[in-house]
Amino acid sequence: MNILPEIPKEQLDCFKVNVKEWLDADEQIKVLEKQIRELKALRNKRLEPKITGFMRSFNISDLNTTVGKLRCNERNTKATVSKKTIQESLQKILPPEQAGKAMDEIYLNREVITKYTLSRVKV
């Protein structure tokens, strides 16, 4: 039988204050993140395509505004590396059996990192 030590009252009170502050901060973050998501959706999904489309149509690369300059940039990026793309690439250069073994080696022997975080559980 494991007997837990008695928690000193002042440490318990401090712990309770910390938990209450954490919950308050978490609630504020949730509200603000929702507002940020909505603003980013407006900016990135609705307005930016219209503005960049207009600027590209009329060959406008820079736009002077009262708060600074807007520049229409073109950027090429590579797609993310997925399990499927790794497997397809390995199958191009290795026999199927070796490609399968290589995939197992890559995915089954990845380093495991343990982190501890708090999260709210819906009740």
- On the question of pLDDT at 85 being above 80, the answer is yes
**pLDDT, tens digit, 9 for 90 and up, residues 25-66:** 999 999 999 999 999 999 999 999 999 999 999 999 999 999
Whether 22 and 56 share a structural domain: yes
Task: Say what the pTM is.
Answer: 0.57
Number of separate domains in the chain: 2
Q: Is the Cβ–Cβ distance between 85 and 79 less than 8 Å?
A: yes
**23 and 57 fall within a common domain:** yes
**Has residue 27 been placed in a domain?**
yes
Q: Specify if 87 maps to a domain.
A: yes
Question: For residue 30, what are the domain limits?
Answer: 8-63
For residues 116 and 55, give the distance between their C-alpha atoms in angstroms, rounded to a whole number: 47
Q: Which of 91, 95, 60 is nearest to 74 (CA)?
A: 60
